[in-house]
Amino acid sequence: MSTIAIILAADAGEGFENPKYTTVVQDKVLLQHVVDDAVHWPVAEVFVVVGSDAEAVIDAVDFKNLVVVIDSEWEEGSASPLRAALDLASRNRDYERCLVAKGDQPGVSDETVKLLIEAGDAEDADAVVPRYRYSAGWPVLLDRSIWEHLLGEEGSIDVLDIARSHSSNLHEVWFDYLAPKAYERMEDL
């Protein structure tokens, strides 16, 4: 099965003085950390969806050879950037699964992604969710059969809830460590 990754980096964030994804964290802009992680993930292709302050984000990040998707409707809520990436991905029939990751969560290792994909293969799961020390987290692996539900969503959505409600075979992969830190609000810095 061919798996792609979708990195969601379209929201403005709460309380950020500058564009959220260009905020410097440990000597690098936030989204650059995630892009640098993603180039090592065992996936066929990576789509990075930007929206808020797209020009500033594009200027600040070296996207390497990743596909950049600009979501002009990002203000609608979290469903919009996911729809934009899935619309593009669904045009290629070779893509059967997607790994949905957060652009504000650096530190997702290639090993974590590999284990999620392997679990999807072994369990024939249509959704795979990591569980970090008893708490569900990101990234989430979704089979193409769930994409149609996401393409029809509007406003703000919770990908974990959609995976749970539309999956006929949801599998969890347990990790004995905390999830990588997400920087959703300025206070998280």
pLDDT of res. 47: 98
- Alpha carbons 106 and 19: distance in angstroms, whole number: 17
Sequence-ordered list of residues with C-beta below 8 angstroms from that of 188, at least 6 positions apart, any chain: 181, 182
The full set of domain ranges for the chain reads 2-183
Instruction: Tell me which amino acid residue 102 is.
Output: K
Give pLDDT, residue 145.
92
Whole-angstrom CA distances from 97 to 53, 100, 147 are: 29, 10, 9
Q: Largest Cα–Cα distance in the chain?
A: 45
What pLDDT, on a 0 to 100 scale, did the predictor assign at position 101?
98
Q: How far apart are CA 141 and CA 98, in angstroms?
A: 6
Neighbours of 124 (CB within 10 A): 10
Tokens 């024939």 belong to which residue? 124
Over residues 72-98, the pLDDT tens digits come to: 999 999 999 999 999 999 999 999 999
**pLDDT-derived band of residue 149, with 50, 70 and 90 as boundaries?**
confident
Confidence category of residue 189, pLDDT binned at 50, 70, 90 = confident
With pLDDT > 70 as the criterion, what percentage of the chain qualifies? 99
Q: What share of the chain is helix, strand, coil (3-state, %, to 5)?
A: 35, 30, 40
Running DSSP on this structure, what letter comes out for residue 20? G
Does the pLDDT value for residue 185 go beyond 90? no
Q: Which two tokens stand for residue 112?
A: 């974590």
How large is the average pLDDT for residues 159-175?
Answer: 93
The pLDDT of residue 146 is above 90:
yes
CATH architecture of 2-183: Alpha-Beta Complex (3.90)
| pLDDT tens, position by position, 15-59 | 888 899 999 999 999 999 999 999 999 999 999 999 999 999 999
What pLDDT is recorded for position 29? 97
Nearest CA-CA partner of 157 in 77, 76, 50: 77
- Is residue 107 within 8 A of residue 175, CB to CB? The reply is no
Average of per-residue pLDDT across 9-14: 92
Question: Nearest CA to 139 among 128, 150, 148, 147?
Answer: 128
Q: Quote the pTM value.
A: 0.96
Beta bridge partners of 186: none
